[in-house]
Structure 1
Amino acid sequence: MKLRRYEIADTEAIMQLFYDTVHEVNIRDYTKAQVDAWASVNMDVEVWMSSLKSKLTYVAEEDGKVIGFGELEANGHIDRFYCHKDFQGRGVGSKILAEIEFKARNLRIQKLFVEASITAKPFFARRDFIVMKKQEVERRGQKFINFVMEKILSYDL
């Protein structure tokens, strides 16, 4: 597995990974209507490209195939963070998160935070993220439960 920064050529593979993961992994915690609203078939490539470029986006790949990605914003927010449906539980997310934490420390970011899905909550909890609050959000007319989680980064003096 290789980890690297996002390149524009990754966009469509990332979009497909996102769609497939939401529809085939997150479906165990959300309804069909919810996952359809979360990951629509009508995603805009230009919007995704712009969004992915605007953040520190890390891509995991194996044999040239995108198998995960995660985004870090300058304020410590981890935005989209997804692992390919066929690579769940194989260390992909751990490797991406380790790189995000490393970069955040280099940038002297004090705290990482994420709005974790029901599905992703255990992953982040195992990595010392604390639930700050449970919340209900709305996307395309569907309501979703997720969890605001944070992790304070420590620095060796």
Structure 2
Amino acid sequence: MTDVAYEHQNETPSEEEAPAAEESSPAPQISVAGLKGKITVADEVVEKVTALAAMQVPGVADLGGDLARAFESVRDRIGFGSKRANQGVRAEIQDGMVAIDITIVILYGHVVMEVAAEVQSSVATSVAQMLGMEVVEVNVTVDDVRLPGEGKADEAAA
């Protein structure tokens, strides 16, 4: 887990500058001026956000390399847990900057380079927006192509 420190200063207007509150429903004023603390984001959080963003890209069939997918298939068949949400993703946070490695499987019929580029873009955008971190690199490895007739339907029938 990597610590990421964010400083937040909240300037509250002075009483003279603050708008007059309605008399009928006084809202409690909570001041966060001078609030101290740190926010810690685990690498696993970045990995899950990355996996979700990648799986939303048209043409991405699955995440992870051959070995990881085989292991997950065995786990699924023996009923030992469910698929890990961050399979095939590795993230490293350092000084509020994120480097991500992701391994994907492409659906047959999609242009590999276009799907991989879209994964890079989608992952970088999602991580930056959801976590407020700077994404310095997204490395995409295309490990396999899922052919028509392969996939989850065949595994369920087996």
TM-score by length of 1: 0.30
Larger Cα-atom Rg: 2
When you count helix as a share of all residues, which structure comes out higher?
A: 1
Tell me the TM-score normalised to structure 2 length: 0.30
